Each structure stands twice: as structure tokens, then as C-alpha cells.
Structure 1
Amino acid sequence: MNYSRRIFVSMFWVALGVILIICNIAGFIDEFWSGMGGGLIGGGIFRLIKQIKYRTNEEYREMIDVESSDERNKYIANKAWAWAGYLFVMIAALISVVFKIAGYDDLVPVTSGSVCLILVLYWGAYMYLRKKY
């Protein structure tokens, strides 16, 4: 994606966030969406600043380009995703048991379903990648 387009997308997220907050103030939507709007504004501004810095600062641009193409950094990022996924499964499974013991039967399907979903996604990705490589 070219950088002019990235700046446009960042401005779009900021504008969408402003629209969500205005709609909440006008009473069209509930507070959840205004919170989402605030998050979109914050994320959009953050990305916009990064894109402007990328365009104007040569050292920063070189650092980002090296970081995005560095094999070691890619390995570390993939390893971090693997750890995060493994820890998520273990924590969600433990929380499912804790919720059941504590009597929060309404929450058990959410946590156990998330464990099931991520394991199915893992299995599907594993089967696909095994055939591909």
C-alpha cells in the first residue's frame, strides 16, 4: 500500500471515530460505540503521526524498512504470536474451569468456545501449511 493511501486510511479512521462519538452524543447509538470511536481516533492519530514521520524523517524510514525486512525480527514476531496463542489457550481453559466452579455458568461457553475456536483455527492452519510446505 502506498504511503499516501496509508495516510488517507488513517484519516478515515479518525473521521469514523468522530462520527461515532457525534452519533452517541446525539443519542443514536450507545456508549460502547463512542468508546470505539475514541479508540479509532487515538489509533488513527497514532498511525497518522507514524506515517508523517516515515515520510519526513530519513533515519526513521531506514529503521522501519530494516525492521520490516529483517529475518530475525520476523522470527521473533512469529515466536511472540505462538507464545501468545499458547498462553491464551491455557489461560482461557483455566478460566473456564474457574467460572464453572464459581457458578458463572453463563460465562463458561464464552471462554470454552474461544478455546475451541482457536484450536480449530490452529488445526486448520497447520493442515494448510503442512500441505503448502
Structure 2
Amino acid sequence: MKEKLPLWVYVLMTAAGLGILIAGGIFEKQIIISTAVGSGLFAYGIARLYREGRIRKDPAYAEKLKTQAKDERLIYIADKARSMTLIISIILLAVLSIVLRAAGREGYGFACLYIMCGITFLYFIVYLIIRRKY
């Protein structure tokens, strides 16, 4: 089972997300980025706080989560889902890069290519580390 963080971390994450979200609306600069980051942090923090509250109130739910964390089938399915998500995101970035460059937005197209290359390189590094470990 994954090591969980202290409750105050999730409270801080939720507050930071809400703060970033509000600051993005007030200052009106880079509002898309601040909205995305703020919303993501806020939603993740709220979801984790809800889950922690449910674990504390319902021992049956806590036991169910412990069982699921040790189930090899569910671990395999989660790993396959992450793998497919990586492949799909790389393909979508490549297609988006081609479309943007064809539309005359070469800067954005190259940005997509750089992100795609970065993700692929990161995958390769993580693969080498995990291969050594196992």
C-alpha cells in the first residue's frame, strides 16, 4: 500500500489550489494556467480529504482499500492503464504538433514536440531505473 501523507498536507494542498485559482482570477494574467493548476490542486486535495474522512469513519471501507492495494490483478490493471495513457498522450502530442505546424502555429507545434520528447526521455530514464531495481 502506498505510504499516505499526513492530513495537513492535503489541507495545505487544497488551500494552495484555492489560492492559486483565486489569484488567477484577480490578476487576470496567465488565467488558463492558474485555473488549471489551482483547480487540479483543489480537486485533488478535496478528494483526498474526503477519502481520509471516509477511512476514519468506516472501518469496512478502510479494510476494502487495504485489500485492493494488495490485489495483484488491480495493480496490473492500473499499470496497464498508466501505460496506455502514456502512449495515447504521446500520440496526441505528435498529432497536435503536426496540426499546429500546418495551421501556422509553429511555436506551439514545436512546444508539443519538445513536451513529447521530454515525456519519452523521462519514460526511458524511469525504465532504466526500474529495470535495474527488478
With normalisation by structure 2, the TM-score equals 0.78
Query: C-alpha separation between the residues in 2 aligned to 1:87 and 1:22?
Result: 32
Aligned residue in 2 for 1:126 = 127
TM-aligned CA distance change 1:127 to 1:42, over 3 Å: closer
Q: For 1:11, give the aligned amino acid.
A: V
The Cα of 1:104 is off from its aligned counterpart by: 0.9
Q: CA deviation at 1:73?
A: 0.8
Q: Deviations over 1:48-102 (max 9, x none)?
A: 1110110110121111111111111110111111111111111111111111111
Q: Which has the larger radius of gyration?
A: 1
Counterparts in 2 of 1:83 and 1:33: CA distance versus 1, 3 Å? closer
The answer to which of 57-66 and 16-25 deviates more is: 16-25
Q: Mark the CA change 1:20 to 1:128 in structure 2 (over 3 Å): closer, same or farther.
A: closer
Gaps of 5+ in 1: none
Task: Name the CA distance, whole Å, in 2 between partners of 1:86 and 1:40.
Answer: 25
Q: What pairs with 1:4-23 in structure 2 (closer than 5 Å)?
A: 5=6, 7-20=7-20
- Say if 1:130 and 1:36 are closer, same or farther in 2 by CA, change over 3 A: closer
Which whole-Å CA distance do the structure 2 matches of 1:82 and 1:73 have between them? 14
* Corresponding residue number in structure 2 for 1:69: 70
RMSD: 2.6
1:1-133 matches, cutoff 5 A = 1=3, 5=6, 7-20=7-20, 30=29, 31=31, 33=34, 36-133=37-134
- Once the two structures are overlaid, the 10-residue window that deviates more, 89-98 or 37-46, is 37-46
By how many angstroms is 1:18 displaced?
A: 4.5
* Percent of matched pairs sharing the same residue: 28
TM-score, normalising length: structure 1:
0.78
Q: Give unmatched runs, 5+ long, in structure 2.
A: none
1:114 Cα deviation from its structure 2 partner: 1.2
Describe the shift of the 1:96–1:76 C-alpha distance in structure 2 as closer, same or farther (beyond 3 A). Answer: same
